[in-house]
Amino acid sequence: MGNQKYKYLLFYKPYGVLCQFTQDTPTRSTLKDYISIPQVYPAGRLDWDSEGLLLLTNHGQLQHRLCNPKFGHQRTYWVQVERIPDEYAIQQLEKGVVIKNYRTRPAKVKLLSNPPPLPERNPPIRFRKTVPTGWLEITLTEGKNRQVRRMTAAVGFPTLRLVRNRIGNLQLDDLQPGQWRYLSAVEIQLFRTFIYATQT
For range 133-159, the mean pLDDT = 94
Residue of 24, 33, 47, 174 marked catalytic: 47
Residue at 183: amino acid letter: L
Q: Same fold for the domain at 8-69+170-197 and the one at 75-166?
A: yes
Question: Tens digit of pLDDT for each residue in 168-179?
Answer: 889 999 999 999
* Catalytic site includes residue 47: yes
Q: What is the pLDDT of residue 1?
A: 40
Q: What is the pLDDT of residue 2?
A: 42
Segments making up each domain of the chain, as ranges: 8-69+170-197, 75-166
Overall fold of domain 8-69+170-197? Alpha-Beta Plaits (3.30.70)
Dihedral angle, C-alpha 35, 41, 47, 50, nearest 10 °: -50
The CATH superfamily holding the domain 75-166 is Alpha-L RNA-binding motif (3.30.70.1560)
Furthest C-alpha separation in the chain: 56
Triad 30, 33, 38: Cα angle to 5°: 95
